[in-house]
Amino acid sequence: MNSRGNGSALQIRDVSKTFTDAKGRLVHALKDVTLEIAHGEFIVLLGPSGCGKTTLLRSIAGFEEIDSGTISLGQMRLDQMAANRRPVNTVFQSYALFPHMSVEENVSFGLECEGLPRSEIKVRVAEMLDLVHLTELADRKPNQMSGGQQQRAALARALAKKPQVLLLDEPLAALDLKLRRAMQTELKRIHRATGTTFLFVTHDQNEAMALGDRIAVFSQGQLRQCGTPAEVYENPADEFVASFIGESTSFTGLVMDGILKFEELTFPIPRYELSSVSVAQIVVRPEAFSFETGEYKCGEVTIEETTYSGDSIEVIATLRSGKQIKIQSPVEILSALKVGSRHDLYVDPLRVRILHGAVADME
C-alpha cells in the first residue's frame, strides 16, 4: 500500500514569504526555501518558534499566499489553486473536532460535503475508525474522549478524504509525555498503513528524531539542513543545527598537522584534509567524550555538576577559562566524579565533526 520513494510528490522551490509586524517592520518568514519530498515520506519540519516551519505548512495548505517561488504536487501547481481544491488535508494542534457531533459524524462530515454516496461514506468511515482503533467509540462526542482519542479521531477525519499529503501542525503538543510517546508510535503505524505523505511540524527535537524519515531544520525563515535523523545528528551543517538537534559543545581553534587546539584541550581532526595551518570549528557530542582510557586523551577538566538519568550520567565540566563541556558518562563511575575534582578527558576521534563552511585557511 505504501508508495514511498516513487519519485518526488511535493516540490517546494525558492519559496519566500514576508510579513509586516505590529511595528511596521518587515519579517522574512521564509527565505528561498527549496525542499523535495518523495511519495510516502514522513518529513518533520523542525525549529524554534517563529522559524518559518508553520508558515511553510500553511502555505502548502493554502492558508498563506507565498510572495515568490512555487509549490507543486506532481504536475499540479498548488500555489495557484484555491485551498479547498488542493489534495491535502491538515490536522491541527487543537484537533478542531465538531463538539456536537459523534466521532463517526466528524469523520463522515467532509465526505458528505463532497457529495459521496452514503454507501461509500459508510465504508470509508468504518475503514478509518478501524485504522485508528476507534470503532468501539464511534458514537462518542469529543468531550467524552481522552486527548489521545480525540487526536486519533482528528487523524481519521483528515485521512478519510484520502489526501495525497497530510499536514500535521504540532498535533501532539497538548498531550502529556506518556500519551505523546504512545501517539508517536500510532502515527508511525498509521503512516505505514496508508502510504500517505506526512508533513509534520514540531519544535521538539526528540519527537522529530522519533518520527521523521527525514528532518528539515529551520531557523529564521531558512532551511538550514535536511537529512535523516542520523545524518542531521552525526553531521550537522552548522552550529545552529548542532545545538538544536541534541546536545553538543563547539570549539574553534588553530589546526596544525591534524590537531585542533582549544585552550588546554587538543582534538584530532578526522579525515584530515585541511591545509597545514588552518582555523576550524568543530562540534563534539556528549557521548563522544569519556573519562575512561582507551580513546584519545584531549586534556583535563573540572567536574562542575553531575545528573543521574538512569542509564547514564550527564556531566557538566569546565576548562580553566570557565567554558562548559557536556559529557555523557556510564553510571558505574558516578562515585568518582566529585564536584570540584579534576579528571583526564578522552574523546573518540571518529566522532569529532568539522562544521561545514567553518574552515578558513590562515595566511
Instruction: Note whether 348 and 231 are same-domain residues.
Output: no
Q: What is the pLDDT of residue 201?
A: 96
Whether pLDDT at 361 is above 80: no
Instruction: Note whether 45 and 176 are same-domain residues.
Output: yes
CATH of the domain at 288: 2.40.50.100
Q: How far apart are CA 166 and CA 289, in angstroms?
A: 40
Q: How far apart are CA 52 and CA 15, in angstroms?
A: 11
In the chain the first and final C-alpha atoms are separated, in Å, by: 58
What cell was used for 124? 470509508
Return the number of other C-beta atoms located less than 10 Å from residue 348's C-beta. 17
Q: Of 151, 167, 7, 194, which Cα lies nearest the Cα of 87?
A: 167
Instruction: Note whether 162 and 267 are same-domain residues.
Output: no
CATH of the domain at 142: 3.40.50.300
Q: What percent of the chain has a predicted confidence (pLDDT) above 70?
A: 93
**250 bridge partner residues:** 283
> Is 2 contained in some domain?
no
Q: What is the pLDDT of residue 257?
A: 80
Q: How far apart are CA 177 and CA 210, in angstroms?
A: 13
Residue carrying C-alpha cell 575534582: 341
Instruction: Note whether 51 and 199 are same-domain residues.
Output: yes
Longest dimension (CA), the chain: 77
Instruction: Note whether 230 and 284 are same-domain residues.
Output: no
What cell was used for 16? 519566500
> Is 106 contained in some domain?
yes
Among the three residues 208, 243, 278, which one is the final residue of a domain in this structure?
243
* pLDDT tens, residue by residue, 271-291: 555 555 688 889 999 999 999
The structure's pTM equals 0.88
Q: Quick one: average pLDDT of 256-260? A: 85
Instruction: Note whether 87 and 194 are same-domain residues.
Output: yes
What cell was used for 50? 517563529
Whether pLDDT at 359 is above 60: no
Q: What is the pLDDT of residue 2?
A: 43
Whether pLDDT at 300 is above 80: yes
> Is 195 contained in some domain?
yes
What cell was used for 265? 584541550
Q: What is the pLDDT of residue 3?
A: 44
> Is 321 contained in some domain?
yes
* pLDDT tens, residue by residue, 147-180: 888 989 999 999 999 999 999 999 888 888 888 8
> Is 333 contained in some domain?
yes
Instruction: Note whether 176 and 43 are same-domain residues.
Output: yes
User: How many structural domains comprise the chain?
Assistant: 2
> Is 1 contained in some domain?
no
Q: What is the pLDDT of residue 196?
A: 94
Instruction: Note whether 193 and 277 are same-domain residues.
Output: no
Among the three residues 175, 209, 243, which one is the final residue of a domain in this structure?
243
173: left (phi over 0), alpha (psi -120 to 50) or beta: alpha
Contact 236, 249 (CB under 8 A): no
Q: How far apart are CA 239 and CA 283, in angstroms?
A: 8
| Positive/negative CA dihedral, 284, 285, 286, 290 | negative
Radius of gyration of the chain (CA): 25
What cell was used for 346? 578522552
Contact 322, 271 (CB under 8 A): no
> Is 36 contained in some domain?
yes
> Is 3 contained in some domain?
no
| Positive/negative CA dihedral, 196, 197, 201, 204 | positive
Instruction: Note whether 238 and 274 are same-domain residues.
Output: no
Q: Of 260, 258, 259, 347, which Cα lies nearest the Cα of 295?
A: 347
Among the three residues 243, 275, 293, which one is the final residue of a domain in this structure?
243
Q: What is the pLDDT of residue 94?
A: 80
Of the pLDDT bands very low, low, confident and very high (cuts 50, 70, 90), residue 130 is very high
Type of residue numbered 98: F
Type of residue numbered 326: K
Q: What percent of the chain has a predicted confidence (pLDDT) above 90?
A: 66
Q: What is the pLDDT of residue 363?
A: 42
Instruction: Note whether 182 and 63 are same-domain residues.
Output: yes
Instruction: Note whether 211 and 353 are same-domain residues.
Output: no
Contact 344, 297 (CB under 8 A): yes
Instruction: Note whether 233 and 336 are same-domain residues.
Output: no
Determine the structural domain holding residue 334 and report its residue range.
Answer: 251-361
Type of residue numbered 246: G
The bridge status of strand 76-77 relative to strand 88-91 is unpaired
